[in-house]
Amino acid sequence: MQFFAHGLHLRGFTPPLQLADFRLIAFDMDSTLINIECVDEIADAAGRKAEVAAITEAAMRGEIADYKESLRRRVALLAGVPAAALEDVYTRRLRLNPGAEALVRGCQAAGLKTLLVSGGFTFFTDRLRDRLQLDFTRSNVLGIVDGKLDGTLVDQPWGDICDGAEKRKMLLETCAALGVDPKQSIAMGDGANDLPMMGAAGLSVAYHAKPAVREQAMVSIESGGLDRLLEVVRP
């Protein structure tokens, strides 16, 4: 990877690119658009954060090949957590990562559509969609019975779990719906389950990412905020 600026590394192209040449930007949520892994913080309410976080870390590093199974294992450990804990995580722990809003607004001003695609949960993606006026989302639904998480995920019309393959599929489906070439899309993520959609996009961006993701991304932001992408892809 070539060095471009402090904490910013590039592979396979020469900057600057023009933001207006792209039509869609897709964001991972946990540890990319936001500062936390939501499943880990929900687990804290059950006294199981360390156990769940260890599985999350292994999955994000690509050490667990079956993302769906890893998520089912983590969600099963949430059984019995009051649904009210989700609101607590959103209001007290979840923050946008530095530069997130500036990058989203910059992309919107340049005419790009926005996609939030996550292995996390609709409780959070729906709120972020409304907060940032994002165009599209895809994520997972937590099962809730009698006001408590039941340790399951709810099947949706498109499938069961949003894993790496589903992220890629959603990126491609969104491009098709917009009538644009996938090469006119940008995909940003930090974990191994983001690699399939990053590989399908015209520009792949790693944000404070796991080693395997940094090594494969065309842009790797290793210090500073998400809006450092605007140093490479100019408005």
Identify the CA nearest to 48 among candidates 180, 151, 153, 201: 151
Of the listed 30, 150, 190, 227, which one is catalytic?
Answer: 30
- The reply to whether 30 belongs to the active site is yes
What is the spatial distance between Cα 126 and Cα 149, in angstroms, rounded to a whole number? 18
- Alpha-carbon Rg for the chain, nearest whole angstrom, is 17
Question: Which two structure tokens, joined as six digits, stand for 82?
Answer: 């009051």
Residues 6 or more apart whose CB falls under 8 angstroms from that of 47 comprise none
The separation between the first and the last C-alpha atoms of the chain, rounded to the nearest angstrom, is: 24
The dihedrals phi and psi of 73, each to the nearest 5 degrees, come to -60, -45
Question: Which two structure tokens, joined as six digits, stand for 120?
Answer: 């996390």
Instruction: Give the position of tokens 């079956």.
Output: 66
- Which helix (H) or strand (E) is 211 found in, with range? helix 211-216
Cis peptide before 182 (omega within 30 of 0): no
Of the listed 28, 40, 163, 190, which one is catalytic?
Answer: 28
Q: Is 131 helix (H, G, I), strand (E, B) or coil?
A: helix
Residues acting as catalytic residues: 28, 30
